[in-house]
Chain A
Amino acid sequence: MAEVRIRGVRKSFGNVEVIHGVDVDISDGEFVVLVGPSGCGKSTLLRMIAGLERITDGEVMIGGRVVNQMPPKERDVAMVFQNYALYPHMKVYDNMAFSMKLRGAEKSEVDQRVQKAADILGLTPFLERYPRQLSGGQRQRVAMGRAIVRDPQVFLFDEPLSNLDAKLRVQMRTEIKELHQRLKTTSVYVTHDQIEAMTMADRIVVMHDGIVEQAGEPLDLYDNPTNTFVAGFIGSPAMNFVRGTVRANGGPARLEAKDGVALPLGDGWSGQDGRSVVYGIRPEHLVLAEAGQRSVESEIAVVEPTGAETLLVSRVAGGEFQAVFRERHAFRPGTRVQLAPLLDKVHLFDAETGQRL
């Protein structure tokens, strides 16, 4: 086990720079999730930690050693690939034993470690099978088993669950988390699925276009996103955004948006009078307005009940507002409804920079 430090790391493919200076500190035993939209450079960053991709600039340290020039095998990391990358011509046992055999470990030791890993993952009945004779979930487990057997300093996962169906994904999510709680090995996990990130991570690193937008604990990111990108990326359904101008004269503070629509703001924002901003409110922070409460009128477009909750999509100021209700209401598309934002849950972002105010 070891901590991983990424200092000012850049990566160029030819003349194109895809990672523009990333700093991440991962402490010993931590489970960090790199999350971001497709093409933002998560895999590239992970592969640089693994040693599969040369580091153009900056430093990667594992357990206090700078590993920039080290080949993968000296870094003592294990990686789980998206398509599992099991060796098709080897049985499960040999797949798991391969790395130990390469290092010339004793046969009895190899056997003991493989059996132990197989036991943890429930793979014992499959040890004599070939990968093609396993289901997707079992292959996934073998891929993890192969990593566990080595007892490395760091686990690296590159979207290991994205080839599984939705139900199995949820189950494996829990399993990986349990495994981490048991082994306490430093882990870096890449995904583009923010729910996976929220549920599994000790700490989330949100990436976008080759930079880190924000890093922090899941709920901290959820409650205090530093910019519109993180605010929109974390959370599902996503945060609602409205562009407009803050007005505090002649009445309580409010946001004036297109078509003369006004959204209520807390009094704390009066100092921002006249400023162009993006107004953000999460769907679960919109409630049905009671008499006299400051609210915004919207027209219901779609109602999506899921049983536990109901998603309401309505039109406000030329855009869409999503709201989530746990209670059941008789909504009908085409009718109007008064939505009241919880004033202390409203986020304001600068319209130019997208930074939180």
Chain B
Amino acid sequence: MTTSPGHPATGPATGVARDDSEGMDYLMSLPRRTVTVYLPLLCFLIVLLFPFYWMGLTSVKPNEELIDRSLNPWWVVDPTIAHYFHLIVNTDYPLWMWNTMVVAVSATLLSIVASVMAAYAIVRIRYSGSRWVGGMIFMAYLVPPSILFIPLALVVFQYGLFDSPMALILTYPTILIPFSTWLLMGYFKSIPYELEECALIDGASRWQILTRIVLPLSVPGIISAGIFAFTLCWNEFIYALVFISSSENKTVPVAVLSELVEGDIYHWGPLMAGALLGSVPVCIVYSFFVEHYVSSMTGAVKE
């Protein structure tokens, strides 16, 4: 468990680290490590980071350099922040950011609350058909959003939610809840049954067991579900494109595309600046929680 602030591994770390490395000696010779570790890592890094490099590069290139084919496309001679300036001052970009944030945070919270309850009920409350319900929820995850958006559009219209953030806040959970529930189910299952039975004998109610035993132990699982949900909301495109029409209600992914492309003219600079700025919040969220994220993917609750 890594939920506690006083993580014990900080004490005699140096001695332990040296001990650990001894068994791995064969990895230590530099040429060997280059081939087995650094080279593959480098390939990965290049493949993964190249889009970001291209985004960043384009966003600081002056327009002349963008069009001029005689220049080196991999580099920028005279960087400028004009595109960022244009984006923030002349467009509704800050508003789009705000919209995206509101939608992503609300939809994530909604989905996590619903998923926690659903997952706990499916895993731990004995009722007939609980496994069946679990299976159905996972099946729901397999239905692609690109099929669901047409019926959902009807629903959104009938409730008069069209072109409001609520349209997205209420539809995103249809994608998020199945996966989060499924992920949390796995996590709750890894919590020993006896802990809950013991709490039951200690006098806790179901609700107290959930809030004081199960949830504290599932923090890594909840964080991973949250990150997953947040990222998906942040990048979601189809629903945002279909359910929102006015510029001031748009989210970043849609707005960048629909407002910064006029006819067949691509404003590459602001477009890339918008994309880059748009990925910053997700990066921040990840960097904060990456440790939890990894631990929840690799290990269950240990006593």
Contacts and interface: CB of A to CB of B under 8 A. Distances in A.
Nearest to A143: B198
A81 B194 contact: yes
A86 B303 contact: yes
Given A83-B194, A85-B192, A88-B301, A73 B202 contact: yes
A103 interface: yes
Given A85-B194, A89-B3, A73 B213 contact: no
A103 B199 CA distance: 12
Interface stretch (A125-133, A195-203, A256-264): A125-133
Contact of A89 (B194, B200, B216): B216
Contact of B201 (A77, A83, A86): A77
B12 interface: no
Contacts of B258: none
Given A132-B1, A132-B303, A87 B195 contact: yes
Contacts of B204: 73, 102
Interface string B282-303: 0000000000000000000111
A102 B202 contact: yes
A72 B200 CA distance: 6
Contacts of B36: none
Nearest to A78: B201
Nearest to B219: A89
Interface in A57-104: 71-73, 77-79, 81-89, 98-99, 102-103
B3 to A, nearest CB: 6
A86 B199 CA distance: 10
B263 interface: no
Interface in B1-16: 1, 3-4, 8
B198 to A, nearest CB: 4
A4 to B, nearest CB: 15
A89 B216 CA distance: 7
Contacts of A102: 202-204, 208
A52 interface: yes
Given A83-B303, A87-B213, A132-B303, A73 B1 contact: no
A51 B200 CA distance: 9
Which of A71, A89, A150 has the most C-beta atoms of chain B within 10 angstroms of its own C-beta?
A: A89
A98 B208 CA distance: 11
A50 interface: yes
Place the interface of chain A in its size category. Answer: 20 to 34
Given A51-B201, A73-B203, A89 B4 contact: yes
A81 B200 CA distance: 13
A132 B201 contact: no
Contacts of A146: 202
Given A102-B208, A132-B1, A88 B201 contact: no
Given A81-B194, A89-B4, A73 B201 contact: yes
Given A73-B204, A132-B302, A89 B1 contact: yes
Contacts of B201: 50-52, 72-73, 77-79
B217 interface: yes
Nearest to A71: B200
Given A131-B303, A132-B303, A133-B8, A85 B208 contact: no
A85 B4 contact: no
Given A52-B197, A88-B217, A132-B1, A103 B203 contact: yes
B200 A52 contact: yes
Most buried by A among B192, B200, B203, B204: B203
Contacts of A72: 200-201, 203
A47 to B, nearest CB: 8
A128 to B, nearest CB: 9
Max chain A Cβ within 10 angstroms of own Cβ: one of B194, B202, B217: B202
Contacts of A81: 194, 197-198
B202 A88 contact: no
B129 to A, nearest CB: 16
A317 to B, nearest CB: 48
B190 to A, nearest CB: 12
A294 B217 CA distance: 69
Interface string B82-114: 000000000000000000000000000000000
A77 B202 CA distance: 9
Contacts of A132: 1, 8, 302-303
Contacts of B202: 73, 98-99, 102, 146, 150
A133 B203 CA distance: 26
A2 B3 CA distance: 40
A138 to B, nearest CB: 13
Nearest to A84: B303
A73 B1 CA distance: 28
A14 B282 CA distance: 50
A51 B8 CA distance: 37
A285 B174 CA distance: 75
Interface string B201-223: 11110001000110011000000
Contacts of A86: 303
Contacts of A150: 202
Contacts of A87: 195, 198-199, 213
9 nearest CB pairs, A to B: A99-B202, A85-B194, A73-B203, A85-B198, A72-B201, A89-B216, A102-B203, A81-B194, A88-B303
Given A72-B200, A72-B201, A73-B204, 14 more contacts: A50-B201, A73-B202, A79-B198, A81-B197, A85-B198, A87-B198, A87-B213, A88-B303, A89-B4, A89-B216, A98-B212, A99-B202, A102-B204, A132-B1
Interface of B: 1, 3-4, 8, 192, 194-195, 197-204, 208, 212-213, 216-217, 301-303
11 contacts: A51-B200, A73-B201, A73-B202, A79-B197, A86-B303, A88-B217, A89-B1, A99-B203, A102-B202, A102-B204, A132-B302
